Structure 1
Amino acid sequence: MELAVRVGARLRELRAARGLSLSELARRAGIGKGTLSELEAGRRNPTLETLYALTTSLEVPLSAVLDDPALRAELSGRAVDAVLLERFEGTDAVTETYRVRIRAGAVQESAAHASGTTERIIVLAGTARVGSAAAPELVGPGGHGSWAADGPHLYEAVGGDVEALLVVRYVR
C-alpha cells in the first residue's frame, strides 16, 4: 500500500499545483471522481492506464508521479506490466525508460499522450504488435520499433508473453 499512498500524495500535489479541482481532473482524465479521491487518499492501487490518463490530463510525464526511486515498483494494466528504470530530464524533453512485459492474450489500447510524445521499443523476447493503432507493426526478438505516441497506439503480444524495453520521450 506504500505505493498507493505515495503516488496518491504526488497526484494531489500535481493537481493542486495546476489549480484543478478533483472533479475537473477526473472529468479531463475520464475517470470517476470517487476513483480519483480514493487514489489521492492512497486507498486504491493505481493501474497503469489510470495513471497515464491522469498524468496526460495534468500534462506531465508518467514518471512525474514515480520520480521517487522508492516508487519504482511494477505497475500493471490490462495487458502491460511496467517498471520505470530511468528518468532523464533534459532541457527540451523528459525521457523515461521502462522494462515492460506484454501479456499474451490481451491488447493494451493507449490513448494519445501529450503532443510530440514518441515511443520506442526493443523486444528482448517474444513478438509484439505495437505502434499506431491505425498501423501497428510486428517486432520480434532483437528488433525495435518506434511511433508517435501523441495519437492512439497499442501493445499486443503475438503468441506468448513479450519482454521488452520501452523508451518514452515527452517533448516540452
Structure 2
Amino acid sequence: MMKQSHTGGRSAIQHDLAKRGAFSPLRIAIRLWGYDASSAQTWIEALPTLDGLLLWTIALAPSSPGADITLHMVKPSKVPGAPFCWNCVGANRSVARMGRAMSTAFTLFAGHADQLPPARSGLWITCGALPPRAALARLAHLIAAATMPTSSDAVTLRYRVLELIARDLDIA
C-alpha cells in the first residue's frame, strides 16, 4: 500500500499540470452588467491565471461561445425607491435562458447579500465590501479550489463545491 503525501496539495497538482501543459485551461467569459468594458479589460489583464489554469475574457455575445464558464458580473442599478435592479433582472434572465447545457454560468454581484433580488437563477456570489477587481481575484482562487483534472487531460469546475465555498467573498 502506497502512502499519499499531503504536502503541496491542490496547488502542487495545478503546478504540475501547468508545467506539463497537459490540460486545457478553464475559459471564463465575463458578461458585464453595468460595467464599462474598457475598465473591465484592465481588471482581466491583472487577474490571476494560476499557472495557466484559468483563461479570462470579456463575453462579447450573450451565449459566450467557447467559454467553459460564463461569469455574469452585476453592478447594482437599483434606484432609490425602485422595486428592482435592472442589471440584476438582465443577468438573471440570461442565466435562466442559458441553463447548464452550453456552459456553467453564475453571477458575481457587487454588493451585499441583503441587496440581492429575492428571485434568482443559479449561483449568485456577493462581493460585499470588496472592490470588483479584488473580488474577481479572490473568486479566481475559489474557482481553482473547485476544479479537478479529468481523464481527457482537461480541468472541470465542480459547481456544487463552488456553491459551498463561494457565497460572500468579503468573508471568504
Give the structure-1-normalised TM-score. 0.29
Scaled by the length of structure 2, the TM-score of the pair is: 0.29
Q: Which structure's CA Rg is the greater one?
A: 2
Larger helix share, 1 or 2 = 2
